[in-house]
Structure 1
């Protein structure tokens, strides 16, 4: 059965997770060129959207071929959430609205935002209802974590609340806020949520290869997958995912994973930097933004530290091109990197919350100072 997002068929059932500083127009285009799915923009704060913050105005732009246009909102105030959603509808800014209840960083949770919100079930319900009720038919979805920590799990109750309010699907990052990006994701929690809900459930966490996505579907029964860190420096993962799901649907053997040579990786790097230069309009800004991707692209390849550092300090497309030309283009992809974590990894830690936050689950008071006027996480 196909995964539906309103009137849109999501085939394969794959979603690019919104990642701050990563999933801009350029990176979304790069990934879409590899395979089909839903590609979500960086997190947009409801205050910034409602108040037309200049930085946010640039971040909510979509490429001419992006369909459906998918935007993720972060907000803690139902009134402001409603205002932001009404603007999306009135100005035709997007075709899909996802709500962020998964952010676990201190500056968010310490003010009661992100993954702290579902603990306040009435406030959570009000925020989701504000989005759904003002979306004028646009599909609204949510993404959340299991809970604050193992003693304060909220994912099943929050999923049921969101379903009753009218969301089209629920995506679960199968870690608690306290886990951050450590350890392994609890796929059993995805299965539990799937059994509890009638709306589609998407799983997120530890999808490093297409085989992981298929295994998650098999083990949990989830309706689709959300891919985040696994595609960093590997946008071709979406080609693998499309091929894997297509082969399964046809009942045929799937092809092996995409294993680009270092020369082919260099071509993707060149394309990525060029797209960023176009999006930023100033070449230097685009190439500077590309620097953080260098280590991900070259992970595992036998490239010397001096050349890596030079690429990570390049300031123009010509300089980057010259450096890419120094790579040994025939070098095969390092198979030892397959299936390994990418991007952020850290240790479990204390979740910082407002004083007294855990005492009253039914308070719907909007946390003071939790709204952010700047998008992107």
Structure 2
């Protein structure tokens, strides 16, 4: 798959998710088979105003290529400047524009999936990003539409391509659905059939064989795994086995999964500080323990951690009592 001039030699990408796909998690997912990653979304206005909290979100890991820096916003002038800043700060190969975020404070202000209600403005946003990206390809991530009565993904995606988008990723739900119900892969197929640039399919890839099914159903060039990777970055290597027709390996033992979680938190502590890394680990570590019998006590302990040392002790306790 070629996104503009960038060769993406993979079928498996990690979908960008605010508050989830930070440097630590992306690093782990890359090591376990995600061949293409995207940063958390960063506000174009925040970049234009030189917000110091936003810049670290764009930092890529060592050897994290190919990768994209994702920005969001609906002011073309600001988007043009932000695309230039994001490319320079991150060193990313690609600039991605979020037109799929369903969060009310984003979408209701006309950003994220709100742009799907204003296609003409979305075209101007892409054109501006292309100008600011300094030769880097610009991609767009969208949904099916605002709601089931206004599904416009095919014509919207076609307009994005005509505006200069080098690839389009489609989440198979409307903004109104948020993450409820079932992703409609048939609409993604319609987008793929309408475009000449690569299309990435996203939505409801939770098991290795889902990767095979979504590519067969949509004909997409690649797929993006989102919530399925919460606490399960091994889904990438297991999905790769399914795509290659190999035997799907089991999840590693719990002790190894906990060690991987700790490594993720340690990367984040070095990157964003111990306090923030521990606050985020309260949620992220519990994902790693989903479905583990008798893990309730340890999940309760995790919800109160404030230091890396506490996390290490909890990890040793889990490995001692539950492995």
TM-score range, shorter chain: over 0.9
> Greater helix share, 1 or 2?
2
Q: Max radius of gyration: which structure? A: 1
Q: 1:302 to 1:138 in 2, by over 3 A?
A: same
1:146–1:154 contact (8 Å) kept in structure 2:
yes
Alignment of 1:194-273 (within 5 A): 194-245=192-243, 247=244, 253-273=245-265
Deviations 1:208-238 (A, max 9, x none): 0221011111111111101110000011112
Alignment of 1:174-185 (within 5 A): 174-185=172-183
Q: 2: CA distance between counterparts of 1:219 and 1:144?
A: 18
Q: 1: CA distance between counterparts of 2:44 and 2:146?
A: 23
What SS does the corresponding residue of 2:318 show, helix, strand or coil? coil
Which residue of structure 1 aligns with residue 271 of structure 2? Answer: 279
Q: 2: CA distance between counterparts of 1:330 and 1:244?
A: 33
Gaps of 5+ in 2: none
Higher relative contact order (CA 8 A, sep 6+): 1
The TM-score, its normalising length taken from structure 1, stands at 0.81
Deviation (angstroms), 1:318: 2.3
Bigger shift: residues 127-136 or 170-179: 127-136
Q: Is 1:149 matched with 2:116?
A: no
Q: 1:302 to 1:328 in 2, by over 3 A?
A: farther
Deviation (angstroms), 1:192: 1.1
Which residue of structure 2 aligns with residue 291 of structure 1? Answer: 282
Deviations 1:149-182 (A, max 9, x none): 1111121111111111221111110101111110
Q: 2: CA distance between counterparts of 1:130 and 1:162?
A: 12
Gaps of 5+ in 1: 248-252, 333-377
Deviation (angstroms), 1:326: 2.1
Q: 1: CA distance between counterparts of 2:39 and 2:90?
A: 15
Alignment of 1:28-177 (within 5 A): 28-89=26-87, 93-177=91-175
Deviation (angstroms), 1:6: 3.1
Give the RMSD, CA atoms, in angstroms.
1.9
Which residue of structure 1 aligns with residue 305 of structure 2? Answer: 314
Which residue of structure 2 aligns with residue 18 of structure 1? Answer: 16
